[in-house]
Amino acid sequence: QCPDPLFKKKHQKRRMVNDKVVQELSVGLAPGGYVFVQSDVEQVAMQMVDTIAANGNFDRVDRFADRAPGQESSKQIAPIARPHATMGKDFQDHNVAGGEWDHKGAGAVEGSYNWLADNPIGLMSERESSTLSRGLPMFRALFVRKEPEVAAKAAA
């Protein structure tokens, strides 16, 4: 959650979500299993979503299958008020590594990434809580592992 953005292009290979990790997830994660990614830097979130979408073994979903539309997790918690937190830098419009990355746009639907408004798990990391308490946005996406035959048909 909220990996170091590593803005320099030469450091992007160190990011947590890359082709190798996503391929390993597609092999090791059972069909129907979920991958949830989020960042407080939109371009980092875009890059994660594009990498997962380009793999072809995952579908983007807006909620867990066992939840009805609009049904929130029973574990939802509010951000912790952090009166001594500094405003920090809003990286939302930061041009990460010149704005270029592998698979750019693969996760967008009609030009939009359609970020999830809420954390579908309901439990926040400290970074997420701090970001939200400062009024800054989080960029979230949820994927489900496809059934192998569906993934094979999509690749063909």
Hey, which residues are catalytic here? 4
What is the sign, positive or negative, of the torsion defined by CA atoms of 29, 96, 84, 134? negative
| Helical segments of 19-145, H only | 19-28, 42-55, 126-133
57 phi-psi bin (left φ>0, alpha ψ -120 to 50, beta other) = alpha
Q: Which residues, in sequence order, are CB contacts of 4 under 8 Å at separation 6+?
A: none
Contact (Cβ atoms closer than 8 angstroms) between residue 25 and residue 35: yes
Nearest of 82, 53, 58 to residue 145 by alpha carbon: 58
